Chains A and B, each alone.
Chain A
Amino acid sequence: AQTVTQSQPEMSVQEAETVTLSCTYDTSESDYYLFWYKQPPSRQMILVIRQEAYKQQNATENRFSVNFQKAAKSFSLKISDSQLGDAAMYFCAYRSAFLNYGGATNKLIFGTGTLLAVQP
């Protein structure tokens, strides 16, 4: 079974600085998707960035980028030029890309989250 681990329960960053959130995962599959979701105090789950396992190029969305190391099963999120609005809980998630009878491709497996505080 796949697992996702976020080893940093809390992180803090100064406004305008850069912070990296860590995520590791365990899987025997070769094709899958990885996601970072942001959950601000409003409770809404917001998709931040997505990475496909077969793509070597690291995904980037504006100030958010990932460092995807497939062999090491590592998927960290870098937030550049941190803003007060970035303060939130961040979840790393895994989804299989294989169609199978168990429906694994429909299941997002989440880590336990990292609470990011942004200091003014």
Chain B
Amino acid sequence: NAGVTQTPKFQVLKTGQSMTLQCAQDMNHEYMSWYRQDPGMGLRLIHYSVGAGITDQGEVPNGYNVSRSTTEDFPLRLLSAAPSQTSVYFCASRAGGRYGYTFGSGTRLTVV
């Protein structure tokens, strides 16, 4: 069982560069989300999706784009990286109803 797979695990970007963080799940989950984790702040929701073709903004969406063309994949795009986007990024998915989210192993992103 692969669960939720995130790539890459580590990335260093220069300010202004763009990149895509990949997320894939093999559990046929409807719901997928992207969170960022910063020291002392817990995890905060960036974007989420309730199914293929349907996405919406979370708590801290600025500077990020998402799309969901398939049930399995939910990539997160950084349009023009800024040092404030230095963080650990988690992708998560869940089935409908009362289930908890399953998280990927995270991507540590540093913007210099």
Contacts and interface: CB of A to CB of B under 8 A. Distances in A.
Interface of A: 4, 33, 35, 37, 42-47, 50, 52, 91, 97, 103, 106-108, 110-113
A15 B105 CA distance: 27
Interface of B: 31, 33, 35, 40-45, 48, 50, 56, 58-59, 88, 90, 92, 98-103, 105-106, 108
A44 B101 CA distance: 12
Given A43-B106, A47-B100, A52-B98, A111 B90 contact: no
Given A43-B88, A47-B102, A50-B100, A103 B50 contact: yes
A108 B62 CA distance: 19
Contacts of A113: 42
A108 B45 contact: yes
A107 B48 contact: yes
A43 B105 contact: yes
Chain B interface helix/strand/loop/mixed: strand
Contacts of A106: 31, 33, 48, 50, 56
Nearest to A102: B56
29 contacts: A4-B42, A33-B98, A33-B100, A42-B105, A43-B88, A43-B105, A44-B103, A45-B43, A45-B106, A46-B103, A47-B100, A50-B100, A91-B42, A97-B98, A103-B48, A103-B50, A103-B56, A106-B31, A107-B33, A107-B45, A107-B48, A108-B33, A108-B35, A110-B42, A110-B43, A110-B44, A112-B40, A112-B41, A112-B42
Given A45-B90, A103-B50, A108 B101 contact: yes
A107 B33 CA distance: 8
Contacts of A44: 103, 105-106
Contacts of B58: 107
Given A43-B106, A50-B100, A108-B33, 17 more contacts: A4-B42, A33-B98, A35-B100, A37-B103, A43-B108, A44-B103, A44-B106, A45-B92, A47-B102, A91-B43, A107-B48, A108-B35, A108-B45, A108-B92, A108-B101, A112-B40, A113-B42
